Amino acid sequence: MVETMEAPQGETMEAPQGKTMRLLLLALNCAMLSLGTCGGPLLMRLYFIRGGARVWLSSWLETGGWPIIFVPLAAAYFRRRAAEGPSARLILMDPFLFVASAVIGVLTGLDDYLYAYGVARLPVSTSALLIATQLGFTALFAFLLVRQLFTSYSINSVFLLTMGAGVLAMHSSSDRPKGESNREYYAGFFMTLGAAALYGFILPLVELMYKKAKQAITYSLVLEIQLVMCFFATVFCTIGMLVNKDFQAIPREARKYELGEARYYVVLAWNAIVWQFFFLGAIGVIFYSSSLFSGIVIAVLLPITEILGVICFQEKFQVEKAVSLILSLWGFASYFYGEFKVAKKDKRQPQQLQQQEAEGHQQGLP
């Protein structure tokens, strides 16, 4: 279900008025989110399995492509200038949004590190199943932060997703990569769960920021917010790289990379680009729909990511992964069915109200 962000009195959400244009822009952002959700983990895992070992570097790449955002920002500014003349503002963001975006950016940087650590230790198919629990965390924090209502179906979905992660935890030994200790595997396992929980908190936090803003939230402003978030996330990861001396290690690692030195830098560059699509798509979907719908899109794509991991890297697909996948798909189906019923009920209520008003009006006639 595509949920619109209903604006209470005093709220300042803005979006394209045309329903067709809104749906087209939502579809575009879903496409970018899809590319990042499926392509990002595969490229990151490719870096690690071919000789890469710098976790802070990988986390840096998740948001290091933030200068790409200047391209759509520049286009948006020149469009405003053509419409408004020299009075068009270059920067739309006010101090509240800047500070809020900076704080969320630091949290995003921490989430980047947790996720990169997990991908370094786990097969893509396993990490994708663990990240599927993000939908449950998103639903929980959306309820706490933006009053997104729980239903019996969403509670069932959270339970099933949790069970899926539990199945993987109980049968981890057969999935552990060669040469990796139990301690390293479980560290990656719980780091990935932590990443799912933290990003499940970040998505509703972004929506809350939109709701609390004291200025109109346009898509141009959303791009500025994303720029600030990615910049501060990158600063956070840059500090980690400096402490871990990753910058000095990059040339040595490139020379020893299995695919060759030139392809090493190509892999890094595409990591940065594809992950930027992920973040742009996620924040765009939140703007044109809701944080919960953004979490749903990510969750739906995770089984595809898992299958791609098995195909691209010849990862094992044991019985426990199949059970976990079935539980995850069951959880998604339960959630979607619940949202469908809520949407159908919401659509029916105005019609019933109009019918009651019409009947009351008819009864009042002589």
Residue 123: how many other CB atoms lie within 10 Å: 24
At residue 54, the pLDDT reads 95
Residue 181: left (phi > 0), alpha (psi -120 to 50), or beta? beta
Contact between 189 and 119 under an 8 Å Cβ cutoff? The reply is no
- State the 10-residue block means of pLDDT for the chain, 366 residues long: 34 55 86 92 93 95 94 90 88 93 96 94 82 80 79 79 71 65 87 92 89 86 92 97 96 95 96 91 81 74 80 78 79 78 70 58 53
Predicted local distance difference test score (pLDDT) of residue 235: 97
Task: Give the dihedral sign, CA 241/122/162/309.
Answer: positive
> What's the rounded Cα separation, in Å, for the pair 20 and 31?
16
- Whether the CB-CB separation of 97 and 215 falls below 8 Å is answered with yes
H or E stretch including 60? helix 55-63
Q: Could you give the CA distance from residue 245 to residue 216 in angstroms, rounded to a whole number? A: 43
pLDDT at 6: 34
Could you tell me if 287 and 26 are in contact, meaning their C-beta atoms sit under 8 angstroms apart? no
**CB distance 328 to 136 below 8 Å:** no
The answer to whether the beta carbons of residues 7 and 13 sit under 8 Å apart is: yes
CB of 106 within 8 A of CB of 170? no
CB 158 within 8 A of CB 338: no
